[in-house]
Structure 1
Amino acid sequence: MKAVAIQAFGPPEGLAVIDLPVPAPAAGHVLIANEAIGVGGSDAVIRRGTLAGYGFKEGHIPGSEVAGTVTAVGDGVDTSWVGQRVWAFTGVNGGYVEQAIAAVEEILPLPAGLSAVDAVTLGSSGIVAHFGLSHAHFAPGESVLVRGAAGSLGIMTVQLAARGGAGAVAVTTSSAERGDRLRNLGATHVLDRSGAGGGDAPSGYDVIIDIIAGADMPSFFAKLNPNGRMVAVGAVGGMPPEDFGMTMMAAFQKSMSFAAFSAATVAEPDRRAVRTEQFAAASRGELRTVVHELLPLEQAVLAHRKMDTGEVFGRIVLTP
């Protein structure tokens, strides 16, 4: 089967199409013939080598979520899964393949009306958005700023904050056109990437969900209200400065807080329950998925180039 591996950390050209044998599912696992493969910001961060110190090595196959049809199961797995269309979390590796392996507890049947493409656009981003807001102790009536709202994670955070009764949902993005699209998804105020502008936007926010991190992250602490909470749910702009906490300490009397959040800390039954509800909501049209472009698996390099230039609104999906 065809797969895409990181042959060299760095620019997208380090990705290469390779041939691999079709794997056999181990005990407790299933084999899935992929119909759709989500391209996420974490894939780009891994590909750049940002997380090389966390055990990722060249030769790594990126991709964490896929959707398709179960074709085989390992020992201990109910054979009734064979033939079912499912969404699957493959971990932090192994999704950019024609046929993927996933643990049976990490797969979920697709409801009628939800396509494989929609499933990989929503599956991981919806969970991180939901539990990221929960991690920030977001409550109805509070103001929320989503930093880096144009990707699938930001789009889902905007929708969930609006559905949750936020008093205001501000976003940072790169253009007025993107701002208009985000308003149609629930945003009430549009700021530029630095957090400026927005007309009558709030001067401070109770919650900031930060997908970008990077060198400019500390400047957003100044946009927190007293007792405000910032939660970093991604680092697509790279790691923040090592001394980023000093900015918060300088405003000690505002009692602000900062946290990082990974969905890996959420218990599997809780992830499954929320994802099931979100898939059902999307199939009813209550949550909107935004697909930037469908590309063949062999064009993963092009997908990552688009990610790196910041032209993606929503999610790029690869198709085998």
Structure 2
Amino acid sequence: MRAVTVSTFGGPENVEITEAPLPEPAAGELRIRTRAAAVHPADAAVRSGAVAAYLPPRPEHRLGWDLAGVVDAVGAEVTGFRPGQEVIGLSHWFRTHNGVHAEYAVLPAGAVAAAPAGVSPVVAAALPLNGLTAAQALDATGLTAGQTLLVTGAAGNLGGLALQLATARDLDVLALAGPEDREFVTAHGGRWVDRDDLARLALLAPEGVHAVLDTALLGPALLPHLLPGTVFVAVRPTSDLPADTRLTVIDVVPDGERLAELAALVTDGALTVRVDTAVPFTEAAKAHARLAERGVRGAVVLTF
């Protein structure tokens, strides 16, 4: 089979398509024929060498966190899945180094769910990592109905999913995004804030916000708008926050049951997954280049 790998760290041009053995599912695992897989900033960080110090020594690294595909084979002790079933799943790459940017991937059954009905594999593939991250980040805020949440990067796939899940919990969501995404934000119940006009936050939330989900990595720039004890949920470690700020760096946990709940919301039309670009996996370098550009609205996805 063919896989998307990197053997020399660097720019998007360093992405390679290489041959790899067909993986065999062990007990409790599924082999999935990949139809689509999202490309994330974490993939770009591996490719560029930004996290090289934390990687095991290998001649190459296969990229990829989440996918949509069709069950191809099931290992012993697997129940609830069958060959031919359309599924989505997540591999926590930094723990497993089991990249799913390949024509076939093996995942634990507990990290897999039936794919949402009525959407393409491209859309389905953009759900697992960002959907679970958004849901688990909202859990980490501990907010209750009526409290104020600031979501930065609300035009991206992660921020957009968090916006929708938060408004479904009756939170007051301030959504930081560009002017071109104002309609998306307001259509999903958020209060739009221009990403280039942070001062407006003082008008919309004069007493500050109760929690922040910082998907845009703004960090200290948000300090003037934090209440004492504000919960600050970050997707990467950040510094220079007040001592009374409760910082949580979200580390997604694969969860097939929770993923099935998110997929059901997509099927019902209650959750919209945004896709920016889809390209064939053989042109994965183009996907990495697009991910690095400003103005990406939604997921960048490889098709297989």
| SS of aligned partner of 1:119 | helix
| SS of aligned partner of 2:198 | coil
CA distance in 2, matches of 1:199, 1:185: 22
In the TM superposition, what is the alpha-carbon distance from 1:312 to its structure 2 partner? 1.5
Q: Quick check: 2:92–2:252 contact (8 Å CA) kept in 1?
A: no
Per-residue deviation, residues 194-236 of structure 1 (Å, max 9, x unmatched) = 73446842232111001233xx51232332123311111x23x
Q: Quick check: 1:221–1:230 contact (8 Å CA) kept in 2?
A: no
The aligned counterpart of 2:185 is: 182
Per-residue deviation, residues 9-48 of structure 1 (Å, max 9, x unmatched) = 2321221111223222233222111111112222222222
| SS of aligned partner of 1:228 | strand
| SS of aligned partner of 2:204 | coil
Structure 1: gaps spanning 5 or more residues: 250-254
Match of 1:282, as an amino acid? Answer: V
* Distance change in 2, residues 1:125/1:293 (3 Å): same
CA distance in 2, matches of 1:56, 1:208: 33
Is it true that 1:61 corresponds to 2:62 in the alignment? yes
CA distance in 1, matches of 2:247, 2:80: 45
CA distance in 2, matches of 1:189, 1:260: 25
The aligned counterpart of 2:7 is: 7
Match of 1:210, as an amino acid? Answer: D
Per-residue deviation, residues 159-196 of structure 1 (Å, max 9, x unmatched) = 111111122x22223x3112333332332121325734
Q: Quick check: 2:109–2:256 contact (8 Å CA) kept in 1?
A: no
Per-residue deviation, residues 116-139 of structure 1 (Å, max 9, x unmatched) = 223222222121111101111111
Q: Quick check: 1:172–1:194 contact (8 Å CA) kept in 2?
A: no
Q: TM-score, normalised by structure 1?
A: 0.85
Match of 1:292, as an amino acid? Answer: D
Equivalence map 1:1-320=2 (5 Å): 1-55=1-55, 59-78=60-79, 81-92=82-93, 93-167=98-172, 169-173=173-177, 175-193=178-196, 195-197=198-200, 200-203=203-206, 204-213=208-217, 216-232=218-234, 234-235=235-236, 240=238, 244-245=239-240, 247-249=241-243, 255-264=244-253, 271-320=255-304
* Distance change in 2, residues 1:80/1:170 (3 Å): closer
Structure 2: gaps spanning 5 or more residues: none
Identity, in percent, stands at 29
* Distance change in 2, residues 1:159/1:69 (3 Å): same
| SS of aligned partner of 2:170 | coil
- How many residue pairs match? The answer is 298
Q: Quick check: 2:114–2:263 contact (8 Å CA) kept in 1?
A: no
| SS of aligned partner of 2:183 | helix
Q: Quick check: 2:179–2:194 contact (8 Å CA) kept in 1?
A: no
The aligned counterpart of 1:252 is: none
| SS of aligned partner of 1:69 | strand
| SS of aligned partner of 2:27 | coil
Match of 2:131, as an amino acid? Answer: G
CA distance in 1, matches of 2:267, 2:213: 26
Per-residue deviation, residues 236-286 of structure 1 (Å, max 9, x unmatched) = xxx64xxx24x413xxxxx4321212123xxx6xx3332222211110111
In the TM superposition, what is the alpha-carbon distance from 1:81 to its structure 2 partner? 1.6
CA distance in 2, matches of 1:138, 1:209: 12
Q: Quick check: 1:94–1:101 contact (8 Å CA) kept in 2?
A: no
Q: TM-score, normalised by structure 2?
A: 0.89
CA distance in 2, matches of 1:28, 1:59: 27
Match of 2:229, as an amino acid? Answer: N
